[in-house]
């Protein structure tokens, strides 16, 4: 751990022989890790081990599917799905007697020499944990632990040995691109704000993270908040700002709590406030809690919200670097972007460039969700293939189903088919394929997923989250959603596909902000790769995935024993037959409710 010579919570640690690290991220907390922590403290005290063993609540390890997670150092023993009832056995066997509790290991080892740790688990083997390096390994509410692993060294280096121009050039040299979605070069963005002549400038961290299924920024804020504060302070120094805001949605109470603790600690230690590191640089940070509007992820709408106005985007130019928050030059980056900055300053741009591709340097954090075995967070080097993320890290598709598509980039991203699994994951490759990196949401779909319905789902989200300011987004997405809904309900018409394509193009060209301009992406990408599914819905009145209820027909197979239970269950008397003979469903009368399939004890009714 490298922490034994430092202090935690005011307690000297030279004599501590074991650290019990328990995941305290939102996912594990919802699974009961808080009670696990309390059980450890109680059982350790019972055994008289309080002076030898320390329990540490950490941030997210990323392996959310198998939480609550417990890792015991110095061995690095990795226990998963730990319950409060398991704790007494771990304390008795492992901490008191030195015997591994094999039943709680992620994989049962062939011998006690094969105790699984991070490097032994497939989920972590292909990851390059830079931004997430501290998450799950330190107490996020103890600034001493962040300092112990090099925290605030990047800020100290910038303030005491580098000019503001040198800091900007180092970030440019690193090739860091914004991790919030657009992928704009970070150093170049900073240079614009730096060049603006004004006595007052602002730094903003966009931690709104409104994409469905996305929790990358939340996990960084919960598990390593000081890294984000340090990155913001470096950026503030570089552009000449003395004040900043972290815009975080109120639905992230744990992240907000830990940010408040981190800011107070940094102020007390002199890393925030006045004359930082004995220089003339001053920097003050505030937290602004957002109300959860997706549109506030757009930078001009976000600034309006901070100012106390309704979160609605405005036309650009002027860009925020010239006239942003309260009309002052402003630089906005997201959580993951700021979290990369301390590493660049501490270890240098040349080191940072050792990972990634020529035009996409470094790593990217993804939230793995959907029909995938290992849901959670994964940080991978740019250029890794989608196949490696889904199968090697994600463990493949649940229930042995066949992979069908992956939605990358959130509601504004695109759906990529199986033929694109070997596509390198970097900004330019994804855009050329009709998708986008986005903030890092990655939703995996299996063979039972209807791609028309997926497009309808994401468009429904963006349409309902539209601020309504511009006609293309407000009305255009609504008309597209009506068409998609009609298609999934079996009422699609000849010309609907062409109409969708035409409307999508017009919305992309004329919507006011990025939300509206990218809203048609899921429709366009599914039309590009799964056009045959749209055609089946419209012209054959069937859903190839058997997922659209109003298009899902039911048939009785040869396994029917003529018991008549299905006929009795049918609410519209659409099933007829004779006892001990095969029954038949009248497809004209059938309302496709599925009651027959539910009632049949012999699994003789098929959907399709």
For the stretch 479-509, pLDDT in tens is: 999 999 999 999 999 999 999 999 999 999 9
Of the candidate ranges 189-203, 373-387, 589-603, the one whose mean pLDDT is the lowest = 589-603
Please compute the mean of the pLDDT values over residues 303-308 and round it to a whole number: 96
For the stretch 51-74, pLDDT in tens is: 999 999 999 999 999 999 999 999
Given a cut of 60, whether residue 7 has pLDDT beyond it is no
Report the pLDDT value the prediction gives residue 116, as an integer from 0 to 100: 59
Given a cut of 90, whether residue 10 has pLDDT beyond it is no
For the stretch 21-32, pLDDT in tens is: 999 999 999 999
For the stretch 265-296, pLDDT in tens is: 999 999 999 999 999 999 999 999 998 899 99
Task: Tell me what the pLDDT averaged over the chain comes to.
Answer: 92
**Residue 94 contacts residue 115 (beta carbons within 8 Å):** no
Given a cut of 90, whether residue 120 has pLDDT beyond it is no
Report the pLDDT value the prediction gives residue 292, as an integer from 0 to 100: 85
Query: If pLDDT is split at 50, 70 and 90, which confidence band does 109 have?
Result: very low
Of the candidate ranges 235-244, 315-324, 435-444, the one whose mean pLDDT is the lowest = 435-444
User: In angstroms, rounded to a whole number, what is the distance separating the alpha carbons of residues 416 and 425?
Assistant: 12
**Residue 132 contacts residue 379 (beta carbons within 8 Å):** yes
Report the pLDDT value the prediction gives residue 324, as an integer from 0 to 100: 96
For the stretch 187-218, pLDDT in tens is: 999 999 999 999 999 999 999 998 888 899 99
Report the pLDDT value the prediction gives residue 412, as an integer from 0 to 100: 84
Report the pLDDT value the prediction gives residue 441, as an integer from 0 to 100: 87
Report the pLDDT value the prediction gives residue 1, as an integer from 0 to 100: 38
Given a cut of 60, whether residue 113 has pLDDT beyond it is no
Q: Which three-class secondary structure string do you get for 399-429?
A: HHCCEEEEEECHHHCEEEEHHHCCCECCHHH
Q: CA angle at residue 215 from 344 to 367, to 5 degrees?
A: 80
Render 54-86 in DSSP notation, one character per residue.
EEEEE---S-GGGPSPEEEETTTEEE-S--HHH
Report the pLDDT value the prediction gives residue 114, as an integer from 0 to 100: 52
Of the candidate ranges 112-116, 291-295, 409-413, the one whose mean pLDDT is the lowest = 112-116
Given a cut of 70, whether residue 143 has pLDDT beyond it is yes
Neighbours of 107 (CB within 10 A): 14
Given a cut of 50, whether residue 3 has pLDDT beyond it is no
Percent share of the chain, pLDDT over 90: 83
Percent share of the chain, pLDDT over 70: 96
Query: If pLDDT is split at 50, 70 and 90, which confidence band does 117 have?
Result: low
Given a cut of 90, whether residue 387 has pLDDT beyond it is yes
Report the pLDDT value the prediction gives residue 213, as an integer from 0 to 100: 80
Report the pLDDT value the prediction gives residue 439, as an integer from 0 to 100: 79
For the stretch 307-330, pLDDT in tens is: 999 999 999 899 999 999 999 999
- E strand residue ranges, 255-402: 284-290, 330-334, 363-370, 376-381
**Residue 209 contacts residue 250 (beta carbons within 8 Å):** no
Query: If pLDDT is split at 50, 70 and 90, which confidence band does 378 have?
Result: very high
Given a cut of 80, whether residue 181 has pLDDT beyond it is no
**Residue 476 contacts residue 438 (beta carbons within 8 Å):** no
Given a cut of 50, whether residue 11 has pLDDT beyond it is no
Please say whether the dihedral angle defined by the alpha carbons of residues 328, 329, 335 and 340, taken in this order, is positive or negative. negative
Looking at residue 273, what DSSP letter applies?
A: B
User: In angstroms, rounded to a whole number, what is the distance separating the alpha carbons of residues 522 and 557?
Assistant: 37
Please compute the mean of the pLDDT values over residues 69-98 and round it to a whole number: 94
């Amino acid at each position: 751990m490298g922490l034994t010579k430092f202090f935690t919570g005011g307690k000297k640690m030279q004599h501590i022989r074991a650290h019990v690290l328990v995941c305290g991220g939102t996912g594990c907390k919802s699974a009961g890790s808080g009670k696990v922590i309390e059980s450890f403290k109680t059982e350790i005290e019972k055994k008289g081990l309080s002076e030898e063993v320390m329990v540490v609540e950490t941030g997210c390890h990323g392996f959310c599917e198998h939480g609550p997670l417990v890792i015991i150092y110095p061995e690095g023993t990795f226990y998963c799905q730990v319950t409060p009832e398991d704790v007494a056995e771990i304390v008795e066997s492992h901490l008191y007697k030195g015997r591994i509790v094999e039943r709680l290991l992620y994989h049962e080892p062939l011998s006690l020499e094969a105790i699984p740790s991070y490097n032994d688990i497939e989920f972590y083997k292909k990851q390059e944990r830079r931004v997430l390096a501290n998450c799950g390994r330190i107490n996020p509410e103890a600034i001493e632990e962040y300092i112990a692993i090099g925290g605030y060294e990047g800020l100290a280096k910038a303030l005491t040995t580098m000019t503001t121009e040198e800091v900007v050039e180092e970030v440019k040299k690193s090739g860091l691109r914004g991790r919030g979605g657009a992928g704009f070069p970070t150093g170049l963005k900073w240079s614009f704000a730096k060049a603006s002549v004004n006595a007052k400038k602002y730094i903003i961290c966009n931690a709104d993270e409104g994409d469905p299924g996305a929790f990358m920024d939340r996990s960084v804020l919960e598990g390593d908040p000081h890294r984000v504060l340090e990155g913001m302070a470096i950026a503030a120094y570089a552009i000449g700002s003395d004040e900043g805001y972290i815009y975080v949605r109120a639905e992230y109470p744990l992240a907000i709590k830990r940010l408040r603790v981190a800011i107070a600690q940094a102020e007390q230690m002199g890393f925030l406030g006045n004359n930082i590191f004995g220089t003339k640089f001053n920097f003050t940070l505030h937290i602004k809690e957002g109300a959860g509007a997706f549109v506030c992820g757009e930078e001009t709408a976000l600034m309006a919200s901070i100012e106390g106005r309704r979160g609605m985007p405005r036309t650009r130019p002027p860009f925020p670097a010239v006239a942003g928050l309260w009309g002052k030059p402003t630089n906005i980056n997201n959580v993951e972007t700021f979290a990369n900055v301390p590493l660049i300053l501490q270890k240098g741009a040349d080191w940072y460039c050792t990972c990634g591709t020529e035009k996409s340097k470094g790593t990217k954090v993804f939230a793995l969700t959907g029909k995938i075995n290992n849901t959670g967070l994964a940080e991978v080097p740019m250029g890794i293939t989608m196949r490696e993320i889904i199968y090697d890290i994600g463990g493949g598709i649940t229930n042995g189903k066949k992979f069908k598509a992956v939605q990358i980039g959130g509601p504004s991203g695109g759906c990529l088919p199986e033929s694109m699994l070997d596509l390198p994951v970097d900004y330019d490759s994804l855009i050329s394929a009709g998708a986008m990196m986005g903030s890092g949401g990655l939703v995996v779909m299996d063979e039972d997923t209807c791609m028309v319905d997926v497009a309808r789902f994401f468009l429904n989200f963006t349409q309902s989250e539209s601020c309504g300011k511009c006609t293309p987004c407000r009305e255009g997405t609504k008309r597209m959603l009506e068409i998609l809904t009609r298609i999934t309900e079996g009422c699609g018409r000849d010309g609907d596909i062409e109409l969708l394509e035409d409307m999508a193009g017009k919305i992309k060209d004329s919507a006011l902000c990025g939300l509206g301009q990218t809203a048609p992406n899921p429709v366009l990408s599914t039309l590009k790769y799964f056009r045959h599914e749209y055609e089946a819905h419209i012209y054959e009145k069937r859903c190839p995935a058997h997922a659209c209820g109003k298009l899902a027909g039911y048939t009785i197979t040869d396994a029917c024993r003529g018991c008549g239970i299905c006929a009795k269950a049918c609410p519209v008397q659409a099933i007829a037959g004779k006892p001990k003979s095969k029954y038949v469903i009248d497809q004209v009368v059938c309302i496709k409710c599925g009651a027959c399939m539910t009632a049949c004890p012999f699994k003789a009714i098929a959907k399709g």
